[in-house]
Amino acid sequence: MTAYWISLYREITDEAKLAAYAQLAGPAIEGAGGTFLARGLPEETYEAGEATRSVLISFESVDAARAAHDSPAYQAALAALDGGAVRDLRIVPGV
């Protein structure tokens, strides 16, 4: 069953660290089978929505998404981020 990795950036505290993270994270996620479906600021927000950077990535399964997150390549990206952003990251199974 497809799974989705959803990242919401509540605050970006260091643009340089975020850029270093992005250089490593994209290839790590794609190399682990992830496909970027959406990324950027929202065009519209409703209800309690916040105008924060959002990223949506699909994987073939929850296990594949979890393995991508826990991989050495993605962990290196997280080390580069090193507090450069406050994020809400979740993996959600598809329906």
pLDDT score recorded for residue 49: 86
DSSP characters for 22-37? HHHHHHHHHHTT-EEE
Output the pTM of the full model. Answer: 0.92
| Structural domains of the chain in order of their starting residue, each with its CATH number | 3-93 (3.30.70.100)
The arithmetic mean of pLDDT across residues 65-70, rounded, is: 98
Task: Dump the DSSP string for 26-88.
Answer: HHHHHHTT-EEEEEE--S---TT-----EEEEEESSHHHHHHHHHSHHHHHHHHHHTTSEEEE
Tens of pLDDT along 4-43? 999 999 999 999 999 999 999 999 999 999 999 999 999 9
Mean pLDDT of 53-57: 97
